[in-house]
Amino acid sequence: QVQLVESGGGLVQAGDSLSLSCLYFGSVFNKYAMGWFRQAPGKEREFVAAISWNGGETGYADSVKGRFIISRDNPKNTAYLHMSSLKPEDTAVYYCAADSYGVGTPSDAYDYDYWGRGTQVTVSS
């Protein structure tokens, strides 16, 4: 079936940049819209960013707009989240997810069919 594996998390200081990768294993990657979500301790999982199947559309949470960029490389079966100007409140486990509908940039977790296990991002002040 489909498997998603995130990588790139770590401990950084406020103001630093960090890039996450999500490697897709399965059938046709380029039919899926891809999303990034995050969950901080004691909080619900929240939408961060999403990208349509061909990269033509992107969407962002207001909290990360202008600081995070989502992208994808379909031949490499990989989605990316480049994060800059990181803040302590960005600290969370970051998850990538795949939506088989493919079109648009869904922000609702229920739209996604497959999830990775997450990668920890910690931003110190």
Contact between 33 and 50 under an 8 Å Cβ cutoff? The reply is yes
pLDDT (mean) for 42-53: 97
> Distance (Å, rounded) from C-alpha 40 to C-alpha 51?
22
Tens of pLDDT, residue by residue over 48-59, are 999 999 999 999
Confidence of residue 1 (pLDDT cuts 50, 70, 90): confident
> Distance (Å, rounded) from C-alpha 49 to C-alpha 37?
7
Contact between 37 and 97 under an 8 Å Cβ cutoff? The reply is yes
Q: Tell me: pLDDT of 112 over 90.
A: yes
Provide the Cα torsion 7, 12, 16, 17; round to 10°: 0
Contact between 96 and 114 under an 8 Å Cβ cutoff? The reply is no
